[in-house]
Amino acid sequence: MFRPMLDPGAPAGAPLRFTFDGVVMTARAGDTVAAALLANGVAVNRETPVSGAPRGAYCMMGVCFECLVVIDGVGNRQGCLVPLEDGMRIETQHGARQAEFREGIEA
Amino acid sequence: MSLTTPQSEPDVVVIGGGLVGGAMAYGLARAGARVCVLDEGDLALRASRGNFALVWVQSKGMGMPEYAAWSKRSADAWHELAALLRDETAIDVAHSQPGGFTLCLSDAELQQRVDGMTRLHNQINMVEYGYEVLDHAETKRRLPDIGKDVAGSIYSPIDGHVNSLRLFRALHEALQRRGSDYRPNCAVEAITPENGGFRITGPWGEIRAPKVVLAAGLGNARLAPMVGLDAPVRPSKGQVIVTEKTAPFLHNPMVTVRQTDEGGVMIGDSQEDLGFDTVVTQPIISLMAERAVRMFPRLAGLNVVRTWSALRVMSPDGFPIYEQSTAHPGAFVTTCHSGVTLAANHVLTLAPAILAGALPDVVAPFNARRFNVPAHA
């Protein structure tokens, strides 16, 4: 449905590999997580905590919170505000996030 | 705002439409009274919008054991209130009574709490309810997510919590369904005792009634003397943090940390004596957050979505004031800083008594005359 728009002659960013729900995908340096998912055909990245309805990235500017995903084990990250990094493990946000234990904060 | 339409005189005018006024008005309407509520507008100080939503008993009543009994009575009656509101409004106020903890972050803090509870329960006429002092291991067994800094806790099975915003809405919804006359943006300028009743006036006009209930929170200090009553209340600032909503992991409320039925974690219970100042201040908020993270390290990863402050309505000794005017019978003052905890008493006990014309003996200790006698040695 979506594809990257490139200015003619502009240099493409370096390719980055990441996974979404375990599936290996590729995008480019400079993409946000939400853009990378859309470019790979991912239209659903979360299920709402209230009704369980499927949702996908919408505003792409940090306002609508539809692009929430789990990134490297941390839930409720706004995919449109997080630059993609090589090797990121991205997962569908199923319902409410868990209050995970963080590294460095001793229980 | 439309002009108030003329209609027959109500039986009671309740001044204030927060949790105390809303509960009094609902209780009066339920008891069969025609009720008019005069409320301020969106800019009212309104502790009802900012409170921490505990139905809390443990630790209350040092110096006045009757207050402990009054709080416990309301905690017991809260099940009935929640059911009533659900039946009348179909709103679930998310009341639960799973027992509450006061977590302590050092041995000294725990000892101070233990001594406080011992003194509280050593009072003559203190109401009986169970509480336990738990060490770290036992606290951890019951609350697996606590951090290593928790030295221990006080637990009492009678503590609980609600969704106080939904309580606020449910009281107003119930009032509306009972046909009460709710008037927002009607701040009261004067109350004049007249012909055995009261004439209540403001920029919006005037209304007369044989009874008036002052439930105007901090506004009661100004209004009470107009009907021969005394309500020397002052603001006590509390700041609150709420995090994003997460999957449930805190079943029980702590006195300073609770997860709401909707998933957000509230962190609160600061107390500052700064007059009518309601600015949120970073040093207080960060201290509250730091203590909360030491209690529950999982909180560290959560995003804070909002902070705010609100003003408690505090009397000189911190206890409620309930009194009928002797100079002008039919005028009542009701004020407290625990409008959530005491809501069940206000609806089920106080309001019917006010309609009948006399406060019950159980609230006699909360007469404001107590402020005018020298403290005993």
Contact residues, chain B, for A76 at CB < 8 Å: 244, 246, 303
Residue A15 has pLDDT above 90, yes or no: yes
* pLDDT number for residue B146: 97
Beta strands per DSSP E along B57-142: 100-104, 132-135
* Spatial separation of the C-alpha atoms in residues B134 and B150, rounded to whole Å: 11
* pLDDT number for residue A3: 82
Domain that holds residue A70: 15-94
* pLDDT number for residue B357: 97
B40-69 exposure pattern, b = at least 16 Cβ within 10 A, e = fewer: beeebbbbbebbbbbbbbbbbbbebbbbbb
The string of pLDDT tens digits covering residues B54-87 is 999 999 999 999 999 999 999 999 999 999 999 9
Tokens of B283: 């040093």
Q: How confident is the model at residue A1 (pLDDT cuts 50, 70, 90)?
A: confident
Contact residues, chain B, for A105 at CB < 8 Å: 293, 297, 300-301
Provide residues of A within 8 Å CB-CB of chain B.
49, 74-76, 95-102, 105-107
Q: How confident is the model at residue B7 (pLDDT cuts 50, 70, 90)?
A: low
* pLDDT number for residue B1: 44
User: Is A3 among the domain residues?
Assistant: no
Residue A18 has pLDDT above 90, yes or no: yes
User: Which chain A residue is nearest to residue B150, measuring alpha carbons?
Assistant: A107
* Average pLDDT rounded to a whole number, residues B298-313: 93
Contact between A88 and A70 under an 8 Å Cβ cutoff? The reply is no
| ipTM of the complex as predicted | 0.72
* pLDDT number for residue B68: 97
Residue A105 has pLDDT above 80, yes or no: no
* pLDDT number for residue B255: 96
Residue B376 has pLDDT above 90, yes or no: no
Share of chain B above pLDDT 70, in %: 97
A105/B265 touch (CB, cutoff 8 Å), yes or no:
no
* Average pLDDT rounded to a whole number, residues B342-365: 97
Measured between CA atoms, how close is B90 to chain A, in angstroms? 19
Contact residues, chain B, for A102 at CB < 8 Å: 297-298, 300-301
Contact residues, chain B, for A74 at CB < 8 Å: 301
Nearest neighbour of B148 by CB, restricted to A96, A99, A107: A107
Domain annotation for chain B: domains and CATH numbers: 12-51+165-233+317-370 (3.50.50.60), 97-160+234-314 (3.30.9.10)
Could you say which DSSP state residue B3 is in? P
* Average pLDDT rounded to a whole number, residues B113-120: 96
A49/B245 touch (CB, cutoff 8 Å), yes or no:
yes
User: Is A102 among the domain residues?
Assistant: no
Give the global pTM.
0.89
Average pLDDT, chain A: 91
The string of pLDDT tens digits covering residues B172-227 is 999 999 999 999 999 999 999 999 999 999 999 999 999 999 999 999 999 999 99
Residue B2 has pLDDT above 50, yes or no: no
The string of pLDDT tens digits covering residues B51-60 is 999 999 999 9
* pLDDT number for residue B269: 80
User: CB atoms < 10 A from the CB of A104, how many?
Assistant: 7
**Number of structural domains, chain A?**
1
User: Is A105 among the domain residues?
Assistant: no
* Spatial separation of the C-alpha atoms in residues B153 and A65, rounded to whole Å: 38
Phi–psi pair at B29, nearest 5 degrees: -65, -40
Share of chain A above pLDDT 90, in %: 75
The string of pLDDT tens digits covering residues A59-102 is 999 999 999 999 999 999 999 999 999 999 999 999 999 887 66
Q: Which residue has the tokens 């239209």?
A: A43
What's A22's domain CATH number?
A: 3.10.20.440
* Average pLDDT rounded to a whole number, residues B91-101: 98
